[in-house]
A and B are shown apart, each in its own frame.
Chain A
């Protein structure tokens, strides 16, 4: 292997999937998780089945999802 400087040593960001009570109406698994997704139409807060990927709930989220602009929060008045 070549002598290559550098290493991937910083902690990598990850999306947390919060456990949600209930069963999936499609496959019956008790493996529902809540987390944001990006799809057709932009960002959604979704509750999905970990096993079959069914979306049990999808609520439109902020336009830019988790991204905070440099100007976010400006109070002008």
Chain B
């Protein structure tokens, strides 16, 4: 906790002598080295991004790099890449757990150590943690690491993304800490273990070789820095970056009113059946510059692979606090110095093996972040941040081309990208990955070149964004037309309630859904038209997930029935089938009646809000036809004033 931080002098107030004693060099040198550490991780990532073959690395940026200090310093993680938080958030602990179990004294120059066990290192088995020790004068001086998603790691589902896997034996190959390279020579037994169990080896092998080379690059850059500035200054820079994060987080916590705050968030159900809805509960105690977050009361671990591990939940806690309170300083292991997490084992946010299957870990940890956002909303007032689209609703499919070539798609054709919630600073982004991630959006051309699919629609849906002085992000609708026989796993896990809750008087976004249409619903190739978006089209659709009218299959959160996403555990489709994903909408910030009518007019012009929605949600009367004359839509100022003057007219 922060007693140490609070008691010591603030970093900026240290005089030159005190700074030098603490960090092994003058302030200027340490700052240069601290920035150099950031350069190292970004350079490693650039090398992997530009050389990767696998779609999940090349098009999604599904990897992260870090630099950590040696065992004698407590493995401080000083630098993380500008990539997905769910990875780098786990890597300080994952690296320490891996090295300590393997034995730091067993490591030698030229080693590459790996581990992929979610219970040791977080995330899931496809995300292998690659660790390179950096030696100086025969002693461990640092570690560079890359956590990179491998397209497959065995298990019962090709590429792995499924909410229906029941235990650790079904999720895929577990790699305990072991060497992949020794003295920069491949360890054949480890390669055999992976490649005798994983699919798509032709993609994995060159990517693993690239990862090895980029870790060697990171090692070389760090070695050069140590040789130039000396080991004390290098280690001082690592400590300094962590101390800056710790001080910054403690300062930020000091701005939150002391108190006890509670929040909860839900997951629709697991992949076993829909008899259990899962709850994530947080109780936050905040005193001075310290905070404690207790997840007691969270539901027992799920029966299938929607659970998060302990380290995933630690990541969600850290990122929730960073996003809400302290977004301007780098995330390091020091971020957690003023933060204690109280986490019982065996919950949906802290699953344990062998039955607590972990694969769609973000579906368990994302609600932790949102529950913290909810819990602190009242305390933060105008600083509160609204909820995002909640579930990745990930789509995983595979098949075989006529020439016998297997294909796979993952995280490209579902609801993986969607809206965020609004803040005091402005309207929300409409198209991003969830708060806990930070990735690229695969190019449509890349998807269609690798997979027998056509991306027909990728567009915003009107009147789905949470209304507010600042509008939430609009839900994303995505249609994909499948050109070849395929089997699909669809995992939308947050449709019973809106994840995009509003804050500071803002309204919640709409809840999403998923449908499957047969070729008879719309012969895109034959008729040369897209599947419509009007309500009438859904009657003939097969509901995959969502709260829908039982007859029309149109979304109806108030009176509808929940359709269970795994009623068909995996879907087999013939050519011409269309999957439609609609994400949840993002939450709004502030009273919608305070929204500038001109902003509402622009929303109508741009298709975020309909004319009816403008009146209903904002009390703004807009005239004209945004479809045929978008620049011609106008505000009826008098009618708007009358509408807004009556309490209850805006909902």
Residues of A within 8 A of B (CB): 1-15, 26, 35-42, 46, 48, 51-55, 63-71
Given A15-B294, A35-B342, A69-B353, A4 and B562 contact (CB-CB distance below 8 Å): yes
Q: Closest A-chain residue to B351, C-beta based?
A: A67
Partner of A71, one of B176, B278, B341, B346: B176
CB contacts under 8 Å to A, within B539-585, are: 547, 556-562, 564
- Measured CA separation A20–B1 after assembly (Å): 19
CB contacts under 8 Å to A, within B55-99, are: 74-75, 93, 96-97
The answer to whether B496 has its CB under 8 Å from any CB of chain A is yes
Partner of B352, one of A35, A55, A67: A67
A40 engages B337 (CB within 8 Å): yes
B168 engages A70 (CB within 8 Å): yes
Residues of B within 8 A of A (CB): 1, 3, 74-75, 93, 96-97, 100-101, 117, 119-120, 168, 176, 246, 269, 274-279, 281, 285, 287-288, 290-292, 294, 296-300, 310, 314, 333-337, 339-347, 350, 352-354, 496, 547, 556-562, 564
8 contacts between A and B (CB under 8 A): A3-B561, A6-B277, A8-B279, A12-B296, A14-B296, A14-B297, A35-B342, A37-B341
Partner of A67, one of B119, B276, B300: B119
Identify the 4 closest CB pairs spanning chains A and B, nearest first: A14-B296, A13-B344, A40-B336, A37-B340
Most buried by B among A10, A12, A35, A37: A12
Given contacts A2-B557, A42-B97, A66-B352, 11 further A-B contacts (CB under 8 A): A3-B562, A6-B274, A6-B277, A12-B300, A39-B1, A42-B96, A52-B288, A54-B1, A63-B100, A65-B343, A69-B120
Given A1-B558, A69-B353, A6 and B547 contact (CB-CB distance below 8 Å): no
On chain B, the residues within 8 Å of A46 by CB distance are 340
Q: Closest B-chain residue to A66, C-beta based?
A: B345
On chain B, the residues within 8 Å of A66 by CB distance are 344-345, 352
Q: Closest B-chain residue to A25, C-beta based?
A: B3
On chain A, the residues within 8 Å of B559 by CB distance are 2
On chain B, the residues within 8 Å of A7 by CB distance are 276-277
A41 engages B547 (CB within 8 Å): no
On chain A, the residues within 8 Å of B275 by CB distance are 5-6
A54 engages B3 (CB within 8 Å): yes
Interchain Cβ contacts within 8 Å, total number? 144
The distance from the CB of A31 to the nearest CB of chain B, in whole angstroms, is 12
The distance from the CB of B552 to the nearest CB of chain A, in whole angstroms, is 15
A70 engages B354 (CB within 8 Å): yes
Q: Closest B-chain residue to A26, C-beta based?
A: B3
On chain B, the residues within 8 Å of A14 by CB distance are 296-297, 344
B287 engages A52 (CB within 8 Å): yes
- Measured CA separation A48–B287 after assembly (Å): 13
Q: Closest B-chain residue to A6, C-beta based?
A: B277
Partner of B276, one of A10, A15, A39, A54: A10
B97 engages A15 (CB within 8 Å): no
B561 engages A40 (CB within 8 Å): no
On chain B, the residues within 8 Å of A40 by CB distance are 246, 333-337, 339
- Measured CA separation A65–B310 after assembly (Å): 9
The distance from the CB of A19 to the nearest CB of chain B, in whole angstroms, is 16
On chain B, the residues within 8 Å of A42 by CB distance are 93, 96-97
B300 engages A13 (CB within 8 Å): yes
On chain B, the residues within 8 Å of A37 by CB distance are 292, 340-342
- Measured CA separation A67–B97 after assembly (Å): 12
The distance from the CB of B384 to the nearest CB of chain A, in whole angstroms, is 23
- Measured CA separation A51–B344 after assembly (Å): 21
A13 engages B347 (CB within 8 Å): yes
Partner of B343, one of A1, A6, A12, A15: A15
On chain B, the residues within 8 Å of A64 by CB distance are 97, 119-120, 310
- Measured CA separation A51–B97 after assembly (Å): 32
Given A2-B562, A6-B277, A67-B119, A13 and B341 contact (CB-CB distance below 8 Å): no
Q: Closest A-chain residue to B266, C-beta based?
A: A8
Q: Closest B-chain residue to A5, C-beta based?
A: B274
Q: Closest A-chain residue to B556, C-beta based?
A: A2
Most buried by B among A2, A36, A71: A2
On chain A, the residues within 8 Å of B557 by CB distance are 2
The distance from the CB of B281 to the nearest CB of chain A, in whole angstroms, is 7
Given A2-B557, A4-B562, A6-B277, A68 and B300 contact (CB-CB distance below 8 Å): no
B561 engages A53 (CB within 8 Å): no
Partner of B347, one of A2, A12, A26, A53: A12
A39 engages B339 (CB within 8 Å): yes
- Measured CA separation A63–B354 after assembly (Å): 18
A12 engages B292 (CB within 8 Å): no
The distance from the CB of A64 to the nearest CB of chain B, in whole angstroms, is 7
- Measured CA separation A35–B345 after assembly (Å): 13
The distance from the CB of B306 to the nearest CB of chain A, in whole angstroms, is 14
The distance from the CB of A14 to the nearest CB of chain B, in whole angstroms, is 4
Q: Closest A-chain residue to B561, C-beta based?
A: A3
The distance from the CB of A12 to the nearest CB of chain B, in whole angstroms, is 5
